[in-house]
Structures are given as structure tokens and as C-alpha cells.
């Protein structure tokens, strides 16, 4: 594969984005409304709602923050939105029913989970070419690429496995069996550890990346909530390496975990059916998408308190933030 013109892309991106200097912003995909809600992170208010393709779920930023990739699941495409103009500028050949994806550090290769087809599709976001399709388990969902770019890891929900894809050869080289219905994978910032949530199993597996073996399994207990309803989905790690946050779905709580000792420190009550999360660019706040209540909860990370909820569209799913 040719070396991507990495620097050039960055510069062009910066030039394009510069006329639109504005406060930090969050984009939230609303699965049942076919829209994105735009939240101004200064005022914590929704400032705009943008129409996109059908059933938008996973969303991700390009590394230069000039573009937003949107899994429009029922339109069977990944849309590319230019953030300066907020227009859809391309539809990538994503394979059917894309749900989540992850962008390689090279800012070109996008790894897309095709939920209905038991495939991972790799697309070059510059040329719009499909580079590879890799067979994985039933209902691929979570995707993550390791910080060094070596691994793409996919979770398949009904197969209950993590699939390790070598990004050089695009071959599946190993599988790690985890608890039922793995939803999300997240690499630690140094790339040595992978966190994987199992929604129905009710656990988070902490996996040593070198051996690809589970080193520890976390389970959660909240007074007054039946253990079956504690269903981990999203996982987010703070940049300073202190905390892991785990969204517990219909338990309506986010677990705060010490990312080093793996001790569970607290449970924060958020909106209903909490799914995915993102930090604000300054890492001061963590935003959660709450599918059933149709809002975004704002967690003040220093105070470890939920300070606000912001009404968005129906079934908010994915979230990104940028300066």
C-alpha cells in the first residue's frame, strides 16, 4: 500500500476548517430520527439538527477533524460529512448494514463492521476503494484499531468473540472468546490493554494485547437493580490513564473504574439505556448517549457528578466531540 500523504491531508484539513472557528462541539447520531444533533459545548445546548442517511449509529472523526464518518445502517453506506459545510460529500462503499467502525492511525483505512453480513469491510477513505472484506462471527459490532495501527479488533455479538485482524495482511489471525454479546472494544492509550464489554454476560474483559488473553473480568453490582439488567456497552478511558467509564445500558448508570487497579469506584445515574460516551476535548466532561430517554447526560469528571442532561433526537447512539 502506498504511504498516505499524511501531512498534506492535515494541512488541507486545517485550512478548510479554519474559517469556521467556533466553540467545541459534539455531534450525536439519532438512530430513529435519521439526524445528527449538534451540541455547543460552551452552552451545552443543541444548536442544530442535520439530516443524514437512514438509521445513523456509529460516527467517527477523521484524524484532522475535517470530516465526520457516519454509519447510515439502513442506507447501507458510510457517509462522509464535511464539517466546515456540514454537507455530505461522499458515500463510501461500506458493505451492508454498517454499524460501527474505526479509523486506522494512517487516517485512510476505515474498518467497518457489517452487522447483517458477518463481515468486516476495509475501505480506503481517499480513493473510496474496498481494500478487503474479512469473514468474522455473527453480528459484528464493536471495532477498534490499536494505537500503533497493527491490530483491528472486531466483536461479534452472537458469536461472543473478539476477532483480531492483522492490518498488514487483512487476515484474521486470532479469536478471543468472551462473555455473551460483546458490544464494544477500546484500547488503552499505550495500546497494551484492550477493554471489551459483554452486554448480556454483564462483564467487561480486560485483555492483554500481547497474549490476546483475558487477564481480568469486571462485573458490576448496583443496589436495587437485578444483575441481569446491568449490561455493559460503551467503554471510555480518560486520557490521563486514571479512569475507565463503562456505560451499563438499561441499568441507567455509568460505572467509574480505576483504570490501573481495576477497582470499581462509583456508579453514576444517567438517562435511560445509556449506550456510548465521549469526553469533551478538554477532558473535563464526559457525555453519554441515552437511547430510551433520548438525551445526553453530562458528567463532570473532577466532581464525578452528573450535572446536566440535554434533550436530543430519538435513540441517540454515537457521539464525537471536537474543538
Partner 1 sequence: MNKLPRLLYTAALTVPLTTNALATSLEIEIGYVGFEPDHGPVLSNLLPEPADTGFKGVELGILDSNTTGRFLKQHYTLRGLSTDKADEIVPATRTLYDQGVRLFVLNLNREQLINVATALPDDALLINAGSQDNRLRTHDCIPGLLHSMPSRAMLTDALAQWLAKKRWNRWLLLEGQTQEDKAYADSLARSAQRMGAVIVARKQWSFDTDLRRTAQQELPPFTQTSEYDVVIVADERGDFGEYVPFNTWLPRPVVGTQGMSPVTWHRVVEAWGAAQLQSRFSKLANRDMYGGDYAGWAAVRTLAEAVTQTGSIDPANLHRFIMSEQFQLGAFKGRKLTYRSWSGQLRQPIPLVHPRALVSQSPQEGYLHPVTDLDTLGFDQRESQCSVKGDS
Footprint of partner 1 (CB under 8 A): 97, 115-116, 118, 135, 137-139, 156-161, 163, 172, 175, 177, 179-181, 199-202, 226, 228-229, 231, 250
Is 50 or 172 the residue whose CB approaches partner 1 more closely?
A: 172
Q: How many CB atoms lie within 10 A of CB 7?
A: 8
> 130 vs 200, which CB is nearer to partner 1?
200
SS3 224: coil
Closest distance to partner 1 from the beta carbon of 101 (Å):
17
Q: CB 54 → partner 1: shortest distance, Å?
A: 13
**186 vs 199, beta carbon nearer partner 1:** 199
**Beta carbon nearer to partner 1, 279 or 315:** 315
Residues ≥6 apart with Cβ < 8 Å to 68: 27, 36, 59, 60, 61, 62, 80, 81, 83, 320
Residue number, 48 or 228, with CB nearest to partner 1 = 228
Question: C-alpha grid cell for residue 1?
Answer: 500500500
CB-CB contact of 84 with 91 (8 Å): no
Shortest Cβ 298–partner 1 spacing (Å)? 26
Q: How many CB atoms lie within 10 A of CB 221?
A: 11
**Shortest Å distance, C-beta 4 to partner 1:** 31
**CA 19/CA 207 separation, integer angstroms:** 43
Of residues 163 and 253, the one with the C-beta less far from partner 1: 163
CB of 58 to partner 1, least distance (A): 15
Instruction: Say if CB 23 and CB 306 are below 8 A apart.
Output: no
Min CB(139)–partner 1 separation in Å: 5
Task: Provide the strand spans (E) within 108-147.
Answer: 109-114, 119-124, 130-135, 140-145
Task: Write the DSSP symbol of residue 20.
Answer: G
Amino acid at each position: 500500500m502506498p504511504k498516505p500523504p499524511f501531512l498534506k491531508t492535515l494541512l488541507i484539513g486545517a485550512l478548510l476548517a479554519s474559517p469556521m472557528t467556533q466553540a467545541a462541539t459534539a455531534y450525536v447520531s439519532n438512530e430513529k430520527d435519521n439526524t445528527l444533533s449538534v451540541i455547543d459545548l460552551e452552552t451545552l445546548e443543541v444548536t442544530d439538527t442535520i439530516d443524514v442517511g437512514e438509521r445513523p449509529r456509529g460516527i467517527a472523526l477523521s484524524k484532522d477533524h475535517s470530516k465526520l464518518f457516519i454509519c447510515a445502517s439502513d442506507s447501507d453506506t458510510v457517509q462522509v460529512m464535511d464539517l466546515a459545510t456540514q454537507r455530505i460529500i461522499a458515500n463510501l462503499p461500506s458493505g451492508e448494514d454498517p454499524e460501527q467502525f474505526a479509523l486506522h492511525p494512517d487516517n485512510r483505512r476505515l474498518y467497518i463492521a457489517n452487522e447483517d453480513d458477518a463481515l468486516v469491510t476495509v475501505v480506503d477513505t481517499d480513493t473510496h476503494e474496498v481494500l478487503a472484506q474479512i469473514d468474522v462471527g455473527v453480528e459484528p459490532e464493536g471495532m477498534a484499531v490499536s494505537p500503533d495501527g497493527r491490530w483491528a479488533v472486531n466483536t461479534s455479538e452472537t458469536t461472543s468473540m473478539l476477532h483480531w485482524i492483522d492490518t498488514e495482511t487483512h487476515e484474521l489471525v486470532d479469536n478471543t472468546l468472551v462473555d455473551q454479546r460483546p458490544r464494544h472494544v477500546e484500547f488503552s492509550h499505550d495500546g497494551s490493554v484492550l477493554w471489551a464489554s459483554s452486554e448480556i454476560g454483564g462483564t467487561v474483559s480486560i485483555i492483554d494485547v500481547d497474549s490476546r488473553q483475558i487477564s481480568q473480568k469486571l462485573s458490576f453490582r448496583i443496589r436495587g437493580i437485578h444483575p441481569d439488567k446491568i449490561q455493559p456497552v460503551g467503554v471510555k478511558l480518560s486520557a490521563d490513564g486514571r479512569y475507565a467509564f463503562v456505560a451499563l445500558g438499561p441499568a441507567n448508570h455509568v460505572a467509574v473504574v480505576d483504570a490501573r487497579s481495576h477497582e470499581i469506584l462509583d456508579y453514576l445515574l444517567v438517562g435511560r439505556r445509556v449506550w456510548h460516551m465521549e469526553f469533551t476535548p478538554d477532558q473535563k466532561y464526559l457525555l453519554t448517549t441515552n437511547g430510551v430517554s433520548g438525551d445526553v447526560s453530562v458528567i463532570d469528571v473532577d466532581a464525578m457528578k452528573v450535572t446536566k442532561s440535554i434533550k436530543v433526537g430519538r435513540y441517540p447512539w454515537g457521539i464525537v466531540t471536537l474543538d
